[in-house]
């Protein structure tokens, strides 16, 4: 499974490095080819760098890891989304620590309309970047909640979640991304409004 990544920031390069370390071919896409090449070089032989369009062509799976206010222009500027599995980790925040659910929809639902034919899966939006390399808490893995309409795409994303040590939790269809975006808003509220040190994550207890 080849992975193209758009955005070389904290989430893009953090997840890219982990997947490359696990043997997945990764292309880091960026507006800055030099930055993408340098970051990829540091990630070893499974990583390469290129433009965002090149990352889209490369990946079976595309991680969108750019700020919300840049997503629509980026997605609409490129061709070749049909059939791609798109992992959307984007949160649209309202500036007060809440999710804004623009137009009453999740970010993921918007992306599904802009990226024609893509199989969008919401995932990783509730995981703080500094936790990516430390998914375990006292022997229990933090959960990555994910949602999407395409069973095959969700199976692939579940594999990628598990491959880096998180517990995949399938939350159902893409419309459930609205809940995942609010769940991320709760995390942000606790960390940035309530002063919790950010070394925490959510999980599910079952009986």
Ligand X SMILES: NC(=O)c1ccc[n+]([C@@H]2O[C@H](COP(=O)([O-])OP(=O)(O)OC[C@H]3O[C@@H](n4cnc5c(N)ncnc54)[C@H](OP(=O)(O)O)[C@@H]3O)[C@@H](O)[C@H]2O)c1
* Binding interface with ligand X (CB under 6 A): 7-12, 30-32, 35, 65-68, 70, 74, 89-91, 125, 127-129
Helices (H) and strands (E) in the chain, counts: 7, 10
Cβ at position 20, least distance to ligand X in Å: 16
DSSP for 46-98? Answer: TEEEEEHHHHHHH-SEEEE-S-HHHHHHHHHT----TT-EEEE----B-SSSS
Cβ at position 106, least distance to ligand X in Å: 13
Q: Which is nearer to ligand X, 12 or 158 (CB)?
A: 12
Cβ pair 160, 51 in contact under 8 A: no
Cβ at position 207, least distance to ligand X in Å: 29
Q: Strands 136-137 and 119-122: what pairing? A: unpaired
Cβ at position 165, least distance to ligand X in Å: 16
Q: Which is nearer to ligand X, 26 or 65 (CB)?
A: 65
Q: Give the Å distances, CA to CA, from 102 to 7, 11, 68, 85.
A: 21, 22, 10, 22
Residue in the shown chain whose Cβ atom is closest to ligand X: 9
Q: Which is nearer to ligand X, 50 or 158 (CB)?
A: 50
Q: Which is nearer to ligand X, 68 or 114 (CB)?
A: 68
Q: For residues 115-133, b (16+ Cβ closer than 10 Å) or e, as one string? A: beebbbbbbbbbbbbebbe
Q: Which is nearer to ligand X, 77 or 206 (CB)?
A: 77
Cβ at position 90, least distance to ligand X in Å: 4
Sign (positive/negative) of CA torsion 95, 101, 103, 109? positive
Cβ at position 24, least distance to ligand X in Å: 19
Residue 82: CA count within 13 A, CB half-sphere: 1
Q: Which is nearer to ligand X, 126 or 158 (CB)?
A: 126
Residue 5: CA count within 13 A, CB half-sphere: 28
């Amino acid at each position: 499974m080849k992975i193209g990544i758009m955005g070389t920031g904290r989430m893009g390069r953090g997840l890219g490095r982990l997947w490359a370390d696990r043997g997945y071919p990764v292309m880091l896409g960026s507006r800055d080819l030099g930055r993408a090449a340098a970051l990829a070089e540091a990630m070893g032989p499974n990583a390469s760098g290129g433009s965002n369009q090149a990352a889209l062509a490369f990946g079976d799976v595309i991680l969108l890891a750019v700020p919300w206010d840049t997503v629509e222009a980026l997605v609409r500027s490129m061709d070749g989304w049909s059939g791609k599995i798109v992992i959307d980790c984007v949160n649209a925040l309202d500036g007060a620590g809440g999710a804004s659910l623009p137009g009453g929809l999740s970010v993921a639902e918007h992306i599904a309309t802009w990226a024609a034919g893509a199989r969008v899966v919401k995932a990783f939006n509730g995981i703080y970047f500094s936790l990516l390399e430390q998914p375990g808490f006292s022997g229990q893995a933090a959960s990555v909640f994910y949602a999407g309409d395409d069973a095959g795409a969700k199976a692939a994303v579940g594999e990628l979640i598990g491959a880096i040590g998180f517990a995949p939790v399938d939350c159902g269809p893409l419309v459930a991304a609205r809940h995942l975006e609010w769940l991320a808003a709760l995390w942000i509220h606790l960390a940035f409004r309530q002063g919790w040190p950010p070394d925490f994550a959510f999980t599910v207890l079952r009986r």
